Amino acid sequence: MSSRLKMALDFGPLLLFGAVYAAFDLYVATAALIVAVLTAIVIEYAIVRKVSPMLLITAGFVVPFGGLTLWLSSDIFIKMKPTILYAIFAAVLAGGLSYDRIFLKVMLGPVFQLSNEAWRVLTRRYCVFFLVMAALNLIVWRNFSESTWVAFKVFGAFGLTLLFSLAQAPFIARHQIESDKSPPV
């Protein structure tokens, strides 16, 4: 699958949510988000015969929380979804560390070669980041307008995640382990 299509499948539903919200309301946007996430799963499976874990996790939260939002006509469910998701991410990463399981290494190990201690430090940093993001979503959802929350959800959370991840690049570069494999001659 091309990287453009992969990005469209990963981020398209969120951007569609924002666009539909701007044109209609939160409930129509939530319905569009559910349909878009499920469509992304179908498209990805049709092309590569598997679905990325992140897309499945997204659907596992969007469908029930979005469904409850629509069924009960209550925006609280879609607004609390990011807080719960971020808190679960933090808990899973921290729980893994307590059992000497480095889940971040499992996810990013093929991309970065780091020592186990560096993976632990990075995991702790992501735990704190996810807890901060959970709190931020809660603060924005509870204290600002719905349109501000949607803008935070669509652009702010993504931007903060990107900035945080980029801020980890110097740490990763300092702790990158050189591969023992010599290039073919």
pLDDT at 161 (0 to 100): 94
Return the pLDDT at 110: 79
**Is the distance from CB of 91 to CB of 107 less than 8 angstroms?**
no
List the chain domain ranges: 1-72, 75-178
| pLDDT above 60 (res 151) | yes
Q: Are 129 and 171 in contact (CB under 8 A)?
A: no
Any idea how long the chain is? Answer: 185
DSSP 8-state code for residue 168: T
% of residues, the chain, pLDDT over 90: 77
Instruction: Give residue-wise pLDDT tens across range 3-29.
Output: 888 888 988 999 999 999 999 999 999
In this structure, the number of other CB atoms found within 10 A of the CB of residue 17 comes to 26
**Whether the predicted model's global pTM rises above the 0.85 cut:** yes
Q: For residue 2, name the pLDDT band (cuts at 50, 70, 90).
A: confident
At 29, which helix (H) or strand (E)? helix 26-48
Q: Which position has the higher pLDDT, 181 or 30?
A: 30
Asked whether 12 and 40 are in contact (CB, 8 A), the reply is yes
The least confident of 72-81, 98-107, 150-159 is 98-107
Smallest CA-to-CA distance from 36 within 50, 18, 49, 22 is with 18
Please write the tens of the pLDDT for every residue from 43-75. 999 999 999 888 898 999 999 999 999 999 999
Confidence band for 181, pLDDT divided at 50, 70 and 90? low
Calculate the average pLDDT of the chain.
92
Cβ proximity of 73 and 26 under 8 Å: no
